[in-house]
Amino acid sequence: MVENIQETDSLLISNVYPTPKAMPDFAHHKISLIVGDLSAKGAGRWGGAVRPFLLAKALKQLGLQVEILGFTDDELPLFIDPEIKIKQFPYSIYPDFMRSGLQLIRAIEGNIICAYKTKASSFGIGLLARRLKQRPLILDIDDWEMSWHSGEKWVYQASLKQRYRDLFKPDGALRQPDHPIYLKRMEQWVHHADAVTVHTNFLQKRFGGTCVPNGKDTDAFDPDKYDRLESRKYYGLDQYRVLMFPGAPRPYKGLEDILTALDILNQPDIKLVIVGGSPYDNYDDQLIQRWGHRIVQIPKVPYDKMPEVISAADIIVVPQKDTAAAQAQFPLKLTDGMAMAKPILATCVGDIPEILGGTGYLVPPGDTQAMARQISEIFSNLSEALARGQEARIRCIHQYSIDAMARVLNSVIHQLIAAEEHTSLQLKQD
Note whether 53 and 198 are same-domain residues.
yes
Q: Are 280 and 310 in contact (CB under 8 A)?
A: no
For the chain, the residue count is: 430
Instruction: Give percent of the chain with pLDDT exceeding 90.
Output: 78
Selection from 152-156, 205-209, 414-418 with the highest mean pLDDT: 205-209
Give yes or no: residues 154 and 262 share one domain.
Answer: no
Residue 8 lies in a domain: no
What mean pLDDT comes out for the span 273-286? 84
293 falls within a domain: yes
Q: Is the pLDDT of residue 24 over 80?
A: no
Nearest to 295 by CA among 315, 271, 319: 271
Mean pLDDT score across all residues of the chain: 90
Q: Residue type for 92, please?
A: S
Residues 243 and 207 in one domain: no
User: Same structural domain for residues 118 and 242?
Assistant: no
**Domain-located, residue 9:** no
Residue ranges making up the domain that contains 281? 223-400
Same domain, 180 and 133: yes
Indicate if 230 and 378 belong to the same structural domain.
Answer: yes
Report the pLDDT value the prediction gives residue 107, as an integer from 0 to 100. 98
Residue 43: what pLDDT?
78
pTM summary value: 0.88
Domain identity same for 102 and 247: no
**For residue range 179-196, what is the model confidence (pLDDT) as tens digits?**
999 999 999 999 999 999
Domain tally, the chain? 2
Q: Are residues 197 and 239 in the same domain?
A: no
Q: What is the pLDDT of residue 8?
A: 39
Note the pLDDT of residue 282.
84
Per-residue pLDDT at 6: 43
Query: Could you give the CA distance from residue 18 to residue 371 in angstroms, rounded to a whole number?
Result: 38
Report helix, strand and coil shares of the chain as percent, to nearest 5: 50, 15, 35
34 and 57 fall within a common domain: yes
Task: Evaluate whether residue 187 is within a structural domain.
Answer: yes
* Residue of 57, 400, 339 whose CA lies nearest to 213: 400
360 vs 301 pLDDT, higher one: 360
Pairing mode, strands 30-35 and 65-72:
parallel
* The pLDDT of residue 418 is above 90: no
CATH number of the structural domain spanning residue 231: 3.40.50.2000
- The span from the CA of 177 to the CA of 165, in Å, is 16
What pLDDT, on a 0 to 100 scale, did the predictor assign at position 4? 42
Q: How far apart are CA 44 and CA 337, in angstroms?
A: 21
Q: Are residues 238 and 134 in the same domain?
A: no
**Are residues 191 and 104 located together in one domain of the fold?**
yes
**pLDDT reported for residue 276:** 83
Termini Cα distance of the chain = 65
For residue range 56-76, what is the model confidence (pLDDT) as tens digits? 999 999 999 999 999 998 876
Look at residue 10 in the predicted model and tell me its pLDDT: 45
Residue 5 lies inside a defined structural domain of this protein:
no
